[in-house]
Structure 1
Amino acid sequence: MTNLVVGLGMRYEKADNLLQLALELQAARSGLSLADIEEKFGVGRRTAMRMRDAAMRNFPQMEEVDTGERTKRWRLPSGTLDRLVAFTAEELAAIEGAINLFERDNREDEAAELTTLGAKLRALLKPDVARKVEPDLEALLEAEGLAMRPGPRPRIEISVVGDLRQAIKACVKVKLQYRNRKTKKVNERLVHPYGFLHGHRNYLVAFHENPKANFVVLFALPHIESLEVTDEPFTRQPDFSLDQFAARSFGLFQGESFKTVWKFAPEAADDAEEFIFHPSQQIERQPDGSLLVTLHAASDLEMAWHLYAWGDKVEVLEPKGLAEIVHGQRMSWGTTP
């Protein structure tokens, strides 16, 4: 313990960074490289080297991992920090908040997983620590105000999501009995499940194996009547990225992206500037105090749904089609979202 105190007093490192690094070194089964330390702590190479050296001095158990790569990696053996690890009320409250968010978004299977994790973490607390944490946790949860808020959400069979998640991990094909939104007819679809997109609706992202399709599409989870997980494996498209797929659209609907420019009135500019409307956005303040937001994405309908909430405090400068959808429905709400 004396060595730890000496290390924490080093000129180049703060106590919390050194302890956090040690926790990361124990959690990383394949170890951490200097580049990993740079990225995780936002430091340069020389500082990353000092942090690694400080960990080595204070934790002689630290070992180099043989990965067969040229890049060197280090880790701490499992159990090294068990007596130093504790859970704060803030950390437990974050888990409870995430559970509430999952439940609100109709993602009950993931909420159940986090509930189990939270129970395991509480079981690890010593009785005297638990007595101190519980009152703070209750106060934080009450202050958070993240209790289930009423509102519409689609019905989803949890067993369907569970089966799909297993198929995603195993990379095996799935036969869906899928109901068409317009015709209501149920057809079989053979798909390669890649992942999920969650928003005001919840979708399966999957490669549709069909001579007329053979590309990645969205399947609404509430429209999956039933499914069969097959034993037939599939190879995921190596160039497919779920993040890039999602970023093509303003919301969830996929299509050809286009440039759009919105002008927020001066009285709404400060509020609009606090939003990240899309990863591609560029913002520019104007001399009169208004705000221009430029982005490239698909789905003019979902853009319109969002822009309606700003009422007459926003003007669509381009494209003309989106402007016609939005401007005819604008209201004077008096306040911004």
Structure 2
Amino acid sequence: MRYEKADTLLKLALDMQASRQGLSLGDIQERFEVGRRTAMRLRDAIVRVFPQTDELLCDDRKKRWRIPNGTLDRIINFEADELADLETAVQVLKRENMDEQVASLEGITAKLQAIMDPNVARRVEPDLEALLEAEGLAMRPGPRPKIRTSVVSQLRQAIKANAVVMLHYKNRKNGKVNERTVHPYGFLHGHRNYLVGYHVHPKANSYVLFSLPNIEDVEIQTDFYERDPKFSLQAFAEQSFGVYQEEPFEVEWLFNAEIADVAEEFEFHPSQKSTRNSDGSLTVEFIAGGELEMAWHLYCWGTNVEVVKPEGLKKLVSDTQKSWQGVI
């Protein structure tokens, strides 16, 4: 128990040094999942151990506490699993074609390893290799779309500057490249990778998805746009089961008792409602678009799932299940 308390205090001290604005009592409660009295005791312990802790009064009228930079630098070290988590993140980002983020994380990893004590680094290295081998991410094969690094780089720059862009966008059907004036808002990554942007066009003027592999080139314009404060990338994404956007509809799936325990471990959609039925089966309900992507996912569950709603998805999945039964 004493070691756990010491570990908590050290984590809190590191957080207080890392935070520019410092931490309030509310921040401590949230980060360590404790009540207000415990948060106060933790804060008091930090102030006793580190008397140089600054007490700040911010614009929100809340008191915050911060440990000056450099105070804890000599006692900071990194464990093998922490470095392995960073490398795992790098491999996942590589699979998603997020090359700029890959370069950034690899730079952070190199900096961390450079400031590590050489003796600690030698001790950690064998554990790090074992953990990375266990993850197996680097060796997992699978298709991924080809995305131009320069395109993503230009788009990220435009997003940060709120700059209007001209996309040279290839039509998937006829191969013709058209120019599209767009206010870029962000990216959605999944089975396919998309730019979310406001398409400025007399017949459009709406938020749409642009497939990143289909963007041949990006020209950043001299004009700037004002972001719509009501637009939420998260809310936009949650309209769909995957990334493809269509009008949301009521969805209801029934997983049989044989697979219900496994299905209950999944979050299929942030808005889902799950109900365990008397026969052991599981009903999952939510509202979203993306019928085709739902069908792709449901194929993974084979004949253990029945689509109750909507009718179109029910027919799509049911027909495929019948063809499987015929083969078996």
Deviations along 1:79-114, whole A, 9 cap, x unmatched?
111012111000000011111111122222222221
Counterpart contact for 1:263–1:316, Cα < 8 Å? yes
Code of the residue aligned with 1:245 in structure 2: it is F
Residues 1:221 and 2:212 are matched in the alignment = yes
Name the structure 1 match of 2:99: 108
- SS of aligned partner of 1:193: strand
Q: Deviations over 1:166-212 (max 9, x none)?
A: 11112211111111222322111111111110001101111112232
AA in 2 matched with 1:45: R
Contact 1:264 1:315 in 2 (8 A): yes
The CA deviation at 1:73 is: 1.8
| 2:150 equivalent in structure 1 | 159
Alpha-carbon offset, residue 160 of structure 1: 0.8
- Looking at structure 2, the residues matched to 112 and 137 of structure 1 have their Cα atoms a distance apart, in angstroms, of 20
Aligned length: 324
Specify which of 45, 55, 73 is matched with residue 82 of structure 1: 73
Q: Is the 8 A contact 1:104 1:149 kept in 2?
A: no
Q: Does 2:307 correspond to 1:326?
A: no
Partner of 1:3: none
- The residue type equivalent to 2:34 in the other structure is V
Alpha-carbon deviations, 1:122-149, whole Å to 9, x = none?
Answer: 1111110111000110011111222242
**d(CA) in 2 for partners of 1:252, 1:189:** 20
Partner in structure 2 of residue 128 of structure 1? 119
Q: Deviations over 1:297-320 (max 9, x none)?
A: 111111011001111111001111
How big is the shift at 1:49? 1.9
- Which letter does structure 1 place at the counterpart of 2:248? S
Match of 2:50 in 1: 59
Q: Which amino acid aligns with 2:227?
A: R
Equivalents in 2 of 1:45, 1:230: separation in Å?
Answer: 51
Partner of 2:60, secondary structure, is coil
Instruction: Output aligned runs, 1:16-31, within 5 Å.
Output: 16-31=7-22
Instruction: Name the structure 2 match of 1:197.
Output: 188
Partner residue in 2 for 1:169 = 160
Alignment equivalent of 1:235, drawn from 197, 204, 226: 226
Change in 2 beyond 3 A, CA 1:135/1:61:
same
**Root-mean-square deviation over aligned CA pairs:** 1.8
TM-score normalised per structure 1: 0.92
Aligned residues of 1:281 and 1:293 also touching (Cα < 8 A): yes
Q: Is the 8 A contact 1:103 1:148 kept in 2?
A: no
1:311 lines up with 2:298 in the alignment? no
Query: Given that residues 176 and 191 in structure 1 are in contact (C-alpha distance below 8 angstroms), is that contact kept between their aligned partners in structure 2?
Result: yes
- Paired residues of 1:56 and 1:62 also in contact (CA < 8 A): yes
Supply the distance in 2 between the matched residues of 1:92 and 1:157 (Cα, whole angstroms): 29
Kept after mapping to 2: 8 A contact 1:104/1:148: no
- Which amino acid in structure 2 is aligned with residue 260 of structure 1? V
Structure 1: how far apart are the matches of 2:56 and 2:45? Answer: 18
1:272 Cα deviation from its structure 2 partner: 0.9
Which amino acid in structure 1 is aligned with residue 72 of structure 2? L
Identity score, percent: 58
SS in 2 for 1:14: helix
In structure 1, what is the Cα distance between the partners aligned to 2:78 and 2:226? 40
CA distance in 2, matches of 1:51, 1:254: 47
Out of 232, 249, 261, which is 2:240 matched to? 249
Large movers: runs of 4+ above 6 Å: none
Unaligned runs of 5+ in 1: 1-7
| Structure 1 residue 274 corresponds to structure 2 residue 265 | yes
CA distance in 1 between partners of 2:181 and 2:65 (Å): 44
* Inter-partner Cα distance in structure 2 for 1:158 and 1:116: 17
Larger displacement relative to structure 2 (92-101 or 268-277) = 268-277
Alpha-carbon distance, 1:45 to partner: 2.0
Instruction: Give the TM-score taking structure 2 as reference length.
Output: 0.94
What amino acid maps onto 1:151 in structure 2?
G
CA deviation after TM superposition for structure 1 residue 231, in Å: 3.0
**CA distance in structure 2 between the partners assigned to 1:193 and 1:40 by the alignment:** 33
1:300 lines up with 2:272 in the alignment: no
